[in-house]
Amino acid sequence: MLDVAPVSTPMNFSTKVSSQGDPVDDLAAFKRLIGRLIYHTNTCPDITYAVHRLSQHVASPTKLHHQVAFRILRYIKQTPGQGIFLKAINTLTLKAYSDLDWASCPDSRKSTTGYIVYLGDSPISWRSKKQSTVSRSSSEAEYRALAQTACEIHWLINLLTDLRLPFSQPATIFYDNHSAIKIAINQVFHERTKHIEIDCHLIREKVQRGTIKLLPIHTTLQLADILTKTLSPSTFHTINSKLGTLNIYAKLEGGCQKTIKSTTSDSAYN
């Protein structure tokens, strides 16, 4: 790795990861590498999606998967000091960004859920995960993504309560689909939404109890987009700069480190 050039994104925008291809020469070495990359995602949400895609093929990886893994290492080489930044704040609030990529898996056509949860302006939980079943519609996949995000927030609320840390409620989930939010809080189910009643009931219950509230957000401000798909370099860097991470080796400007952009500047869709 000493002689390779670093890259600015963990995955090439044009790369399509699937199960097809020639097998790798050293399966054990590939598994060890993926295990270390998974561990690295605990502090680096920016590589989570790329590692998630590779981890699906750890049983039978191809040479393309090895190339993608090697590119992630080249990306990490450029940002060795990148990690989450926990700010000192007076008021603790929970907020989350939730998104999905419908039928994105080329092998199974299952959708990909992505969410990132913040305590104040600091990211504390994030995930990129292929949904367990195939969704017949984008609406079905959307409610599954919202339900998974709501469950994660519920767990974090219980954790903060057990730790006796005061925090303000309700927690906010930002989502970029207006129709999904309307159906989720609608009291009447339609024929086309009966198959997703469980997820809708779960979300509605938490909204009615004041545990969470759903707010629409413009697609360009959806931070969870980085956890659901491969993005163009410009879009990736725009979102990555707002994630709440910090490079401790960044160059100093004027005697103090350049301040990272706060996610509080992201406003709801207008």
Task: State residue 8's pLDDT score.
Answer: 93
Phi/psi at 143 (5° precision): -70, -30
Mean pLDDT of all residues in 2-11 = 89
Task: State residue 86's pLDDT score.
Answer: 85
Task: State residue 269's pLDDT score.
Answer: 41
Contact 226, 45 (CB under 8 A): yes
CB atoms within 10 A of CB 270: 6
Q: Please state, rounded to an integer, the average pLDDT across all residues of the chain.
A: 86
Q: Is the pLDDT of residue 82 over 80?
A: yes
Q: Is the pLDDT of residue 53 over 80?
A: yes
Q: Is the pLDDT of residue 49 over 80?
A: yes
Query: Distance (Å, rounded) from C-alpha 68 to C-alpha 47?
Result: 11
pLDDT by residue (tens digit) across 13-26? Answer: 988 888 899 999 99
Task: State residue 221's pLDDT score.
Answer: 94
Structural domains for the chain: 1-80 (no CATH), 84-221 (3.30.420.10)
pLDDT grade for 247, boundaries at 50, 70 and 90: confident
- Candidates 8, 140, 139, 156; CA nearest to 71 is 8
Q: Is the pLDDT of residue 32 over 90?
A: yes
The β-bridge partners of 101 are 112
Task: Provide the percentage of residues in the chain whose pLDDT is more than 90.
Answer: 59
Q: Is the pLDDT of residue 45 over 70?
A: yes
Mean pLDDT of all residues in 14-43 = 94
pLDDT by residue (tens digit) across 90-111? Answer: 788 999 999 999 998 888 999 9
pLDDT by residue (tens digit) across 188-245? Answer: 555 455 556 677 778 888 888 899 999 999 999 999 999 999 999 999 999 999 999 9
Mean pLDDT of all residues in 53-61 = 95
Element (H, E) at 31: helix 27-40
